[in-house]
Structure formats: C-alpha cells, structure tokens
C-alpha cells in the first residue's frame, strides 16, 4: 500500500484522502475488512489525527490514575490495534494494564515484544 503513503510522505496529505477513501470503500465492497484498520490509520495520518505510542501510553497512565475519559479513549484505541498484527501484542499488554494488572505482569504475557518497547511501556506506565 505504498501508493497511499506517497502524498502523505510528500507533504500533500489532502491529496491522499480521496485515494484512501476509495481504498476504504473498495475494501468494504469486496469484504477485505482486515485491511480497514491500516487504511483508517493512514486516513487519520492524512487528516493530521495521528497518535504516537507515547500519546497512547500517556492515556493509559492517566486512566490508571483515575481519568475515566482517558481510559475509554485508550480502550477504544487498543481495541482497534488488535486488528493490526504488528501492534496486537502491545494492545493486549495495554488492555491488561487498563484492567488494573501490574504492567510488569502484563508484559510477561508478551515475550514477543522487544526490550526497547518493553522499557518504553514500563517507564511510561510506572512513572509517578
């Protein structure tokens, strides 16, 4: 799907939106729902609505410290991430942390995550 990234990468995100909308409609029409999260992520990027892992970890941290709105938003994001193979393990860890599990225990259930990402998650979620 590199063709969708070209207008975004070239600093012309508005040109990407019609292409991405067409891709989204096409995937829906032919039943390729497993591709929709990727297209939707690219659409969000083109609209300037992207969220970094640090942003998401901030939401999870806030939720773990009582911010219900942050918890709802983080939960919805994690649910969407479950459909993205590369991010599914991270989503499961964060869902467990949102449910109140100790982040160290949640990470123990995801040995496939690399050490850098594990450290980033722990640092963010265990911050005071």
120 and 64 fall within a common domain: yes
66 and 84 fall within a common domain: yes
Count Cβ neighbours within 10 Å for each residue of 44-57 and write b for 16 or more, e otherwise: ebbeeeeeeeeebb
31 and 67 fall within a common domain: no
Domain span holding position 94: 53-125
Whole-number Å distance between alpha carbons of 14 and 18:
8
Q: What is the pTM of this model?
A: 0.66
Answer yes or no: is pLDDT of 98 > 50. Answer: yes
Whether 35 and 96 have beta carbons less than 8 Å apart is answered as: no
Whole-number Å distance between alpha carbons of 70 and 76:
10
Q: Tell me: the pLDDT tens digits for 67-91?
A: 999 999 999 999 988 888 888 999 9
């Amino acid at each position: 799907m590199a063709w969708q990234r070209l207008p975004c990468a070239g600093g012309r995100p508005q040109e990407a939106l019609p292409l991405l909308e067409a891709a989204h409609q096409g995937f829906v029409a032919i039943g390729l729902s497993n591709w929709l999260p990727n297209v939707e992520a690219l659409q969000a990027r083109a609209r300037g609505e992207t969220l970094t892992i640090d942003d998401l970890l901030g939401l999870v941290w806030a939720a773990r410290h009582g911010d219900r709105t942050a918890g709802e938003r983080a939960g919805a994001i994690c649910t969407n991430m479950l459909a993205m193979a590369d991010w599914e393990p991270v989503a499961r860890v964060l869902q467990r942390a949102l449910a109140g599990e100790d982040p160290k225990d949640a990470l123990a259930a995801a040995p496939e995550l690399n050490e850098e990402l594990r450290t980033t998650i722990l640092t963010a979620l265990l911050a005071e």
